[in-house]
Structure formats: C-alpha cells, structure tokens
A and B are shown apart, each in its own frame.
Chain A
Amino acid sequence: MTRVAFVHTGSFFHLADLRDPAIRAMDITDVYAPDLEPGGLDGFDAVYVAARLHPGVLSRIAPILVEFLSTDGARMYVDGENSVGEWLPGTEETLRGTNFWAWRIGEDVGRRSVNQDHFFWQFLRDDAVHWHYHGVLSHPDSAVPLVRLEESTDPVVIDGPDDPWGTPYRAIPGHANTLMYYDAGTFPAEVVVSTMDASYHHGAGFMPGASQLVYRMLYWLRGATE
C-alpha cells in the first residue's frame, strides 16, 4: 500500500483535515512536523506538505522535505502559504493579494487553466483550482504550469488593483505568473506546487474548491507506487 505522509503543525485546520472521514479513508499518516527528524520520512512513498506550516518549524524541516525529493518514484504536493521560494530549489514565489470577492461580482482576475492536454489534468478540474491564490511562482524549465495568471493589457489593471490589505492580486508583467505546476524533471521524485492553501480552507470548512484540491492531490499521491 502507498504510504502517504500528511506533514502538519497542529493548527485547527490541519487537525480537522486529519479527522475528515474522506481523508481517513485514504489511509494517510499523521506526521506532526515539530517531532519530525532527519530520516523521519524514510519509508513513505508520498508527502502532502500541509498549508500554512509554522514558518519556524518549516525552515527546520525543509532539508528533510528536499531530501525526500531524491527518492525515485516518490511524489510530493506542496500546499500554499509555505514560503516555497525560500526552501525548494529552483522555485521562487512572489506574494499576490487575495481576491476573495471576484465570484460575487463576476470579476475576471486573469486566472487560466493551461496545458490542459498534459496528463496531470486527469487529476484536476477547474473548480478545484479556480478559487483564490496567494502568490505567483517562477520555476525550473522542466516544470509544466497547470494554472497561471494571464497579464492584462489594461494599464489600470497592470498597476493594481489591490486587495484590502494593500497587495496587488493581478499578474506581474514579464513573470511566469504560475499558480500551480507539475515537475518531474528537477528531482528524482515528482512534485506539484501551488500557491493555493487548500488544506487550510478545507479544514476550516469554508471553500468547496479547496476541498476538491485536497482530495485530488491525495488521490494523486496515493498513486505513487502504482
């Protein structure tokens, strides 16, 4: 059986994820990151790095996560809000504002599903990845963008607008603007990275699309040894 580690730091949403009957049915293993030591991921086939890990704990365990990527045939999904640009080689993250109201007013923020002929799309659907995001990624050439922000030609939009906390949420001119990618070429393991914090919103019970993404990534991770 595929062994999937759910690496977390004990926030209420992490604990709620672990109690979700649908997630329990996937036989994932509760890996409490404050107790994770080098070698602690040995024997796992796949790792779900939960959203919003405690930043101090994350920086301590990052070498363990990166080391896991040297495992042939393994899989890892890195959920959003994890400063991935600070620890995952080859990836940089630039924070973007959070537009949580676009669906109420029909605003097109520029988010697009891309490369939909790629095999990874068999694991995804638009509603799993079209809710909100917290940053844009640049990444190795071997990474295949799955969702990205499209630049606007409207000069007003290029310089703004901002979210209520003063951070612009549209694409950055000249940037890869990737919101989620699949990469099978940088490490012996396959890795998927997104800036969507699915396991936060699923555990908080507040975003149906986020629940879709959590379940779909776990489904993919469970196939690591097939």
Chain B
Amino acid sequence: MPRALHLVQRPVLPEDESSRLCVRDVYDFDALDLDAFTGIMVSSGCDQRFLAARSERISAWVRAGGRLLVNGHPMERFVEGMPKHRKLDFHSTRDLWLTEMQSHPIWSGVDRRDLLLRTGVPGEHSFEELERIGVAGFYAHAYLVDLPVDAVTITGIGQGFLPVDVAYPLGAGEVVMHLGNELGSFARSGSSAVDLGERTIAYLEGALAAAEVAG
C-alpha cells in the first residue's frame, strides 16, 4: 500500500497503479482514509472550491503530522496558513529567473538553472543554447504573499527573489507549496533535477527528514 497520496483532477486510470503513489480523483477525497498516508500531493488542476470546503479536515491531517505538497496557484485557502497568489509582471528571462533561497530536502542539490527553461527542439542543449531556443516560466511565473511567520522560502523568482517554493510547519506536519506546473515534471535526465520526482515522493513517504526543512 503506497504511503503517499496523489490527488488529481480526473478519474483514475489503470496505468496510474503504482507501488509508490496512490493516485485518486480529488472528488473521491471524502471516501479516503487519510490516516493511511504520510504525505499528500495535490495536482495543480485540482478543484480548489471543492478542497476549500474540506480545509478543516486537510488542516487537521497536516497538524497530526502529515506532509502536504500543493502544486499550482492558490486561489482558495484549503489548508491553514496557505499563502496567497500574486501575478508577476514579467518581460524577460531575468524576470523569471529562479534563485535558491533556503534548503529543503526535496530540492537538495538542484541547480535552479536546470528548472528555468524548456524546449522541444530535439537533442541535448547547453544552458546558453536553451536561453536562445527555450521558454521560461513553466516552473513559475507568479509569486506568493502572506507567508506564515515561520515559513521558509526555498526558491525565489525574478530580480526581487519573490517566493515561489515555500514550506511552513503546521502542528506536527508541514505544508510545501510549489507555485507552478507539477513539481515532478521538472525532473530531467542529465541535469541536477534528474531525481526531483523521486525526492518528492520520498519526502511524502517520510523518508526525508522534515526537521531540517524549517531549520
């Protein structure tokens, strides 16, 4: 039985079956036994109006020691302390530049330059080449405000290093927010982010220490 739950905005497919992640349609949330899971990952498209109506249950689960990873833009507060989304006025790659701010086990060893640019031009490309043919902003193109006082900013965006990845303790648990497309989708072979997806799951399983998170 997987210890990490992945909530998605679609019915579950046979190919979702995995020993590491229990993939469930967000609308099946009410029937889930959350105590069976050490971590929950919320996909960016999940219905936030639905989740906001369940914020007490989600918050209580985190307070009891759960680890919650939220992808996407927070438009509704569905867990206590959840920061708010703000638009970023971006015009250049520098406006979207990603900077490591504080450490977190999920991002350990990840050079933020490996998360910045994407292209579909076949082949391996140097960072300099990607600056010419790639597109920035998939990782994040907005920022978070109203962070809890004990939150840490893990990754900053743009010339003001505004928060896009943050973590904060909630009771005995922790909330991690990534303000962009699914974090695991940025794992790229041949880069420092190669095991980003694996580290994300390991964190949700409780295999990576949370204590160093807010330390």
B27 at the interface (CB under 8 A from A): yes
B133 at the interface (CB under 8 A from A): yes
Residue pairs across A and B with CB atoms within 8 Å: the count is: 77
Closest A residue, CB atoms, query B8: A54
The answer to whether B47 touches A54 (Cβ under 8 A) is yes
Given known A-B contacts A56-B25, A204-B73, A101 and B133 have beta carbons under 8 A apart: yes
A40 at the interface (CB under 8 A from B): no
CB neighbours (8 Å) of A19 from chain B are 75
A163 at the interface (CB under 8 A from B): yes
The interface size bin for chain B is 20 to 34
In-complex Cβ contact of A12 among B45, B87, B118 (8 A): B45
The answer to whether A163 touches B27 (Cβ under 8 A) is no
The interface bits of chain A over 1-21 (1 if a CB of B lies within 8 angstroms of the residue's CB, else 0) are: 000000001111101100100
Whole-angstrom distance from the CB of A22 to the nearest CB of chain B?
13
CB neighbours (8 Å) of B85 from chain A are 12
The interface size bin for chain A is 20 to 34
The interface bits of chain B over 156-184 (1 if a CB of A lies within 8 angstroms of the residue's CB, else 0) are: 00000000000000000000000000000
B31 at the interface (CB under 8 A from A): no
A156 at the interface (CB under 8 A from B): no
In the complex, what distance in Å separates the CA atom of A104 from the CA atom of B133? 5
CB neighbours (8 Å) of B25 from chain A are 56
Whole-angstrom distance from the CB of A156 to the nearest CB of chain B?
12
The answer to whether B11 touches A56 (Cβ under 8 A) is yes
In the complex, what distance in Å separates the CA atom of A99 from the CA atom of B73? 23
Whole-angstrom distance from the CB of B117 to the nearest CB of chain A?
10
The answer to whether A10 touches B10 (Cβ under 8 A) is no
The answer to whether A101 touches B119 (Cβ under 8 A) is yes
Instruction: Give B1-19 interface residues, CB cut-off 8 Å to A.
Output: 9-11
In the complex, what distance in Å separates the CA atom of A105 from the CA atom of B133? 6
CB neighbours (8 Å) of B9 from chain A are 9, 11, 52, 54
A123 at the interface (CB under 8 A from B): no
Stretch binding the partner chain, chosen from B135-143, B144-152, B199-207: B135-143
Given known A-B contacts A101-B134, A204-B73, A15 and B120 have beta carbons under 8 A apart: no
The answer to whether A99 touches B27 (Cβ under 8 A) is no
Whole-angstrom distance from the CB of B74 to the nearest CB of chain A?
7
The answer to whether B76 touches A15 (Cβ under 8 A) is yes
The answer to whether B142 touches A15 (Cβ under 8 A) is no
A55 at the interface (CB under 8 A from B): yes
Whole-angstrom distance from the CB of B150 to the nearest CB of chain A?
25
Whole-angstrom distance from the CB of B178 to the nearest CB of chain A?
13
The answer to whether B27 touches A164 (Cβ under 8 A) is no
In the complex, what distance in Å separates the CA atom of A34 from the CA atom of B45? 15
In-complex Cβ contact of A10 among B50, B73, B74, B134 (8 A): B50
The answer to whether A206 touches B75 (Cβ under 8 A) is no
B155 at the interface (CB under 8 A from A): no
Whole-angstrom distance from the CB of A50 to the nearest CB of chain B?
12
B44 at the interface (CB under 8 A from A): yes
CB neighbours (8 Å) of A97 from chain B are 120
The answer to whether A54 touches B27 (Cβ under 8 A) is yes
B192 at the interface (CB under 8 A from A): no
Whole-angstrom distance from the CB of A35 to the nearest CB of chain B?
10
In-complex Cβ contact of A104 among B73, B76, B134, B142 (8 A): B134
B72 at the interface (CB under 8 A from A): yes
Instruction: Give A95-140 interface residues, CB cut-off 8 Å to B.
Output: 97, 99-101, 104-105
A161 at the interface (CB under 8 A from B): yes
Q: Across chains A and B, which 6 residue pairs bring their CB atoms closest together, nearest first?
A: A10-B47, A10-B49, A15-B75, A12-B73, A11-B45, A56-B11
Interface residues of A, Cβ cutoff 8 Å to B: 9-13, 15-16, 19, 32, 34, 52, 54-57, 97, 99-101, 104-105, 161, 163-164, 204-206
9 contacts between A and B (CB under 8 A): A11-B46, A12-B44, A12-B45, A34-B50, A56-B27, A57-B27, A101-B119, A163-B120, A204-B141
